[in-house]
């Protein structure tokens, strides 16, 4: 008898775990709602709020239903125990038959409750998958599929805490597509969106796996560079700059080209996450002020050019004058004529007269 009664209590214990998981799920969705509300544009907040509230209401109704089943099962269990006690006190009733009947009813009630628990587990898994989708969406930019600003803030806070503890180098890079408003005005916003996606992929391909590239907003990107000094960050930025400048971006059969400007700063004593990003942004502004398509680094209290290798201007050959070109061609012809005469056994000086 004690074994059967102990077995009868197992579904209640399992249900307790399930209800606890439901409570955690509800709390996660509530936290997600506040997080999405703080990072979402005002126009989409109302729609997102309705989605989250519908999920919360569904979980609430489901939790209430399962809790009712638990209460009903416990009440049934108490009635069966009372019958057993009465059977033991009433000598006219066969205790074994009463016990067998009670155990049968307990097992039947357990089967029904177990089915309800299985349904609860399935529903909980479905809600968890849906919540995981919302969490991914809340931290991902829909156009470029890069992490978004909220993800950047969270990752930078974690990296910055590590930097404060271990003092391993940490740099932040800000990247902006040059003259992008003019690009959109010329080619259209659909072309702009297509190029944004391709630029994002180009930047990602130029970085290490440990680097965190995010879409910061609009045509601006940000990169968290772990274990990277400002000098190495300048080299990484230069690689990205040249990768974008050399890339032919395609849209509806047309080849479109853009360039980027980059600013890099390294975490220093006294910095916060905000001041680190601010200094990288100041370096970006200096790059744009210097003519764009270049890299600037924020080093201490000064801003300096940080490109690796020759600048685009240095790569452009100086134009040749038409007079110099004509003279060079005439000299080549004279040398060739002289060589032919020597091969023919004639005196070049005498024949030229």
Domain at 90, CATH number: 1.20.120
Place of tokens 């680097």: 211
In a domain, 350, yes or no: no
Both 33 and 73 in one domain: the answer is yes
Residues 164 and 259 in one domain: yes
- Each residue of 131-145: pLDDT tens digit? 555 555 678 999 999
Confidence band of 115 (pLDDT split at 50, 70, 90): confident
The string over 265-284, giving b where at least 16 C-beta atoms fall within 10 Å of a residue's C-beta and e elsewhere, is: bbbeeebebeebbbbbbbbb
Question: Which of 101, 219, 252, 266 is an active site residue?
Answer: 219
Q: Which of 252, 272, 241, 90 is CA-nearest to residue 178?
A: 241
Contacts of 60 (CB under 8 A, 6+ apart): 26
pLDDT of residue 255: 96
pLDDT at 312: 40
Cα distance between residue 89 and residue 298, in whole Å: 89
Q: How high is the pLDDT of residue 32?
A: 52
Average pLDDT over residues 7-34: 54
> CA-to-CA distance for 350 and 309, rounded, in angstroms?
54
pLDDT at 262 over 90: yes
Q: Would you call 101 a catalytic residue per the annotation? A: no
**Distance, CA of 351 to CA of 353 (rounded, Å):** 5
The confidence score (pLDDT) of residue 59 equals 65
For the cut 70, the answer to whether the pLDDT of residue 82 exceeds it is yes
Cβ atoms of 66 and 15 within 8 Å: the answer is yes
Under 8 Å between Cβ of 35 and 150: yes
Lowest mean pLDDT across 11-25, 81-95, 150-164: 11-25
- Residues 282-340: pLDDT tens digits? 999 999 999 999 999 999 889 999 875 443 433 333 444 444 444 555 665 666 566 66
How many of the other CB atoms lie within 10 Å of CB of 247?
Answer: 20
Q: Is residue 169, in this structure, part of any structural domain at all?
A: yes
The answer to whether residues 287 and 296 touch, using CB atoms and an 8 Å cutoff, is yes
Q: What is the mean pLDDT of residues 56-64?
A: 64
The residue segments making up the domain with residue 65 are 2-138
Residue 189 belongs to a domain: yes
Strand 220-226 relative to strand 170-177: parallel, antiparallel, unpaired? antiparallel
* Residue 168 and residue 122 in one domain: no
Based on the fold, state whether residues 154 and 130 are members of the same structural domain.
no
- Whole-number Å distance between alpha carbons of 10 and 243: 62
Residue 53's pLDDT band (cuts 50, 70, 90): low
Both 116 and 162 in one domain: the answer is no
The closest alpha carbon to 230, from 298, 328, 285, 179, belongs to: 298
Report the alpha-carbon distance of residue 134 to residue 239 in Å, rounded: 35
Least confident of 63-77, 195-209, 242-256: 63-77
The mean pLDDT value for 194-208 works out to: 97
How many domains, in total, are found in the chain? 2
- 160-164, 177-181, 265-269, 339-343: least confidently modelled range: 339-343
Q: Are strands 260-266 and 295-299 parallel, antiparallel or unpaired?
A: parallel
pLDDT over 70 at 204, yes or no:
yes
Structure-token match 């409750």, residue found: 113
Co-location of 163 and 302 in the same domain: yes
């Amino acid at each position: 008898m004690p074994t059967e009664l102990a077995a009868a209590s197992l579904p209640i214990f399992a249900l307790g775990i399930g209800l606890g998981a439901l409570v955690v799920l509800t709390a996660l969705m509530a936290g997600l709602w506040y997080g999405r509300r703080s990072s979402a544009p005002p126009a989409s907040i109302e729609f997102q709020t309705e989605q989250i509230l519908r999920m919360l209401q569904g979980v609430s109704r489901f939790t209430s239903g399962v809790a009712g089943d638990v209460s009903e099962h416990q009440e049934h269990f108490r009635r069966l125990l009372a019958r057993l006690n009465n059977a033991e006190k009433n000598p006219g009733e066969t205790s074994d038959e009463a016990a067998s009947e009670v155990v049968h009813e307990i097992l039947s009630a357990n089967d029904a409750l177990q089915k309800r628990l299985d349904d609860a587990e399935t529903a909980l898994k479905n809600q968890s998958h849906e919540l995981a989708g919302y969490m991914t969406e809340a931290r991902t930019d829909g156009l470029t599929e890069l992490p978004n600003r909220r993800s950047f803030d969270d990752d930078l806070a974690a990296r910055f805490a590590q930097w404060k503890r271990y003092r391993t180098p940490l740099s932040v890079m800000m990247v902006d597509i040059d003259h992008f408003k003019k690009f959109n005005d010329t080619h259209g916003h659909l072309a702009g969106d297509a190029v944004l996606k391709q630029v994002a992929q180009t930047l990602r391909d130029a970085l290490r796996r440990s680097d965190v590239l995010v879409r910061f907003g609009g045509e601006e990107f940000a990169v968290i560079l772990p274990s990277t000094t400002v000098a190495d960050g300048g080299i990484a930025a230069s690689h990205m700059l040249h990768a974008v400048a050399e890339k032919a971006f395609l849209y509806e059969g047309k080849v479109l080209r853009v360039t980027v400007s980059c600013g890099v700063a390294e975490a220093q004593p006294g910095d916060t996450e905000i001041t680190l990003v601010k200094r990288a942004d100041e370096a970006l502004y200096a790059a744009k002020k210097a003519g764009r398509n270049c890299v600037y680094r924020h080093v201490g209290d000064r801003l300096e050019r940080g490109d690796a290798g020759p600048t685009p201007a240095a790569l452009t050959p100086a134009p040749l004058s038409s007079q110099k070109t004509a003279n060079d061609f005439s000299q080549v012809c004279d040398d060739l004529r002289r060589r032919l005469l020597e091969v023919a056994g004639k005196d070049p000086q005498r024949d030229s007269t």
